Amino acid sequence: MKTKRHGAVVGLFAAGALLLTACGSDDNTGGNGGSTTGAAASDVAVECGGKSKLNAEGSSAQKNAIDTFIQSYQKKCSGSDLAYNPSGSGAGVKNFIAGQVDFGGSDSPLSKDKGEVDKATDRCKGNPAWNLPLVFGPVAIGYKLDGVKDLVLNGEVAAKIFNGTVKKWNDPAIKALNGSASLPDKDIKVVYRSDESGTTDNFQKYLKIASKGAWTQGDGKAFKGGVGEGKEKSAGVAQAAGSVDGAITYVELSFAQENKLSMAKIDTGAGAVELTGDTVGKAIDGAKVKGEGNDLVLDLDSIYGTTTAGAYPLVLATYEIVCSKGYDADTAKAVKAFLTVAATDGQAGLVDAGYAPLPKAFQDKLLTAIKAIA
């Protein structure tokens, strides 16, 4: 992890860390005394052991968070390790279903319509797979445009940019949101994820809900805007957008920061909202679980379509996709240990890595589900 990026990210999220009820702090003295703080490391038993090296694959959006979790896991469970391949959400789901990895990482839950739910049940020997939201992080609409640092967009205009309806930076639709700002007569260069990506799926879901009908292309892990240049993985789109004046993309916060992209404020109808710790925390507060039992699928539509003042609407949750039952005993033990550490001790480093720590309500639900894995 790069110190330069961490400095920028810490500055952005420091003010919001308390709002997000950070959990798993190394300070287990209980000094803050707050009832909303997540479970401290000493409060949750971790039964280490089992398979010495787990394998997981998937979302590149959560890669830096997983690195943080691995460090905590190695510290808590000596001799244990996890190898994580940030190959993208599509590959993570595919290879989990194929039994090639112990769990998959995806920025969107298993799709029943695509047959993923049934295939995952088969992989888990007739038992359901669970979607466990372990990592929360904001998605930035990142751009590079000389002389423009305070761009404001809304769902409708963003949709028209990413489906090619709005082609110039000085288009009247953009100018109407940016007052007296000087916008150049320059082509907009869209950069999108060329690999299957849960980030793409979440972004397109946001456009569909927030664009007032301007986005008709649908959602899914493949980008459907029909415009721009595709690049693989989060690092690829961020690097490409950061190298071309006039470029715009959608990418997770830490990658936008690392590549020095400007980030658009989003007007949800109650004024322009900047991406900060406080505004992300307000959005996460509105997330609800729609899955049943320990399958913790989130209903993010209320976030994407929010008109709550001060709530930043582009937030994704990355799921760890696991078997509820069907692992061999050693794998089950190790998966439970890793996820327990990630949901407790591992949360302490997330602000530093550019993510939002788990709100206590989600942490409690996660720990209940993790404990039930057999």
Residues annotated within the binding site are: 59-61, 89, 107, 197-199
Q: Determine the length of the chain.
A: 374
CA distances from 317 to 152, 255, 314, 358 (A): 24, 16, 10, 10
Q: d(Cα 154, Cα 365) in Å, to the nearest integer? A: 33
Tokens describing residue 321: 């996709």
* DSSP-derived secondary structure letter, 42: G
Signed CA dihedral, 290, 296, 300, 306: sign only? positive
E strands, the chain, are 53-58, 81-85, 103-106, 129-144, 152-153, 189-193, 229-231, 247-252, 262-263, 265-267, 272-273, 288-289, 298-299, 315-323
Q: d(Cα 108, Cα 297) in Å, to the nearest integer? A: 9
Nearest to 137 by CA among 71, 58, 205, 202: 202
Nearest to 137 by CA among 310, 311, 351: 351
Tokens describing residue 137: 């992080």
For residues 62 and 343, is the Cβ–Cβ distance under 8 A? no
Residue 9 CA to its chain's centroid (Å)? 15
Tokens describing residue 44: 């949750």
Binding-site residues for phosphate, in ranges, read 59-61, 89, 107, 197-199
Task: Give the three-class secondary structure for 100.
Answer: coil
